Structure formats: structure tokens, C-alpha cells
Amino acid sequence: MTVRIGITGGIGSGKSVVSRLLEVMGIPVYISDMETKQLMVADNRIRGELIALLGEEVYAGGILNKTLLASYLFGSPEHARQVNSIVHPRVKEDFRQWVRQHAGCSMAGIESAILIEAGFAGEVDAVVMVYAPEEVRVQRAMKRDASSRELIERRIRSQMSDEEKRMRADFVIVNDGETPLIPQVLALITFLSQNNTYLCPPKK
């Protein structure tokens, strides 16, 4: 049976770095942000329900109108709930199907900034929070996104707090730029596998 690892953390925490390390170690990772964007274009059910909610212009020219969607999504908590109720169930089903496709792997991961908020914690066997001090996160995100401090801090405020994430996580990986990451990831894998049998079996 595949052990499912949920990787989460706030903006700039470095969860993508942890995901890449897991992949290098042979553990496939479902990148929910990327897969969600693809589903919102390719999944007919999502398209139909978003059009019913927002009108044909949300897919003007067959392309997702991200500006319109974002404007509606961030307009109110109720709007966000409506959009999420359309998208999240399809992403969950897609992840379940993806896990079945990786049944030959003893472990598989899912990376999501909103893993807990979106109700995906129930889809995994262990929740791993990637933690970095807020100032480190702000500097990383400003450099990565070429954004202002004000915008990044606003995004941080809109996410679940680190304290709450820590309380709900099974494991915490510190990515502060000083604490070595690889030993922490190896310790996590060793703990979960117990016998270090965490690599996918070689293809025959």
C-alpha cells in the first residue's frame, strides 16, 4: 500500500524544494497547484459549473479568464467557497486516480499550500509542514515573484497561520536556510518506511 505524504506550508516556506528532494529520492509528488490549473482548462465538469456560476466569459475564446475568476474568487468568502466547491472535489478525485497509477511506489506525495484548508488532510497518511521564519519567507517570495513586501505580507495574512499548521501537522521540516534539509527529509522517509524501502521499484 502506498503511503501518502501531504506537503504543505505558507508562501515562501520552501515546500517545493522539499517536494523536489522527495522526487530525487524516488518519491513521486502530485503538485496540486499545477494540476488544478490544468484541470480547470481540461475538465468538462469544472468548465460547465464555472460557466454556470460566472457566465460564458469565464472561458472567453476557450481560455480560462484568470482575471475574472480571481476577481470573483477574492470578492468574498462566499465566492471562494462556491469556486472551491466546484474545483476541490475534482482535484481530490484526480489525486486519488494519480495515487492508483503510482501503486507500485511505497510512497507518494501531494504538495499543496492549502492542503489542510481544502480538506485534503484526509487524503493523506501524514501531513508534513515546511516551516521558515516569516521574514525569510517574505524575502524569498519577494525575490521569486518580484512582488512588494506589502503584497507578500497580505498573502501571508490570508493563509492559515504557521501556529495552526504546526498543530495540525504530523511532522515539521525546518527550511530556514541554515538547518540542513536533506537529513530532515531522510529522517521523515526513514520513519515512515521503517525499512528504508521508499524508492519506487525499478521498471521491468
pLDDT exceeds 70 at position 124? yes
pLDDT exceeds 50 at position 200? no
For the entire predicted model, the pTM comes to 0.86
Q: What is the pLDDT of residue 195?
A: 52
Give dist(CA 110, CA 39) in Å, integer: 16
Q: What is the pLDDT of residue 148?
A: 87
C-alpha cell belonging to residue 182: 536533506
Give dist(CA 28, CA 31) in Å, integer: 10
Confidence of residue 98 (pLDDT cuts 50, 70, 90): very high
Average pLDDT, the chain: 90
Give the neighbor-by-neighbor strand order of the sheet with 171-174.
Answer: 29-31, 107-111, 3-8, 126-131, 171-174
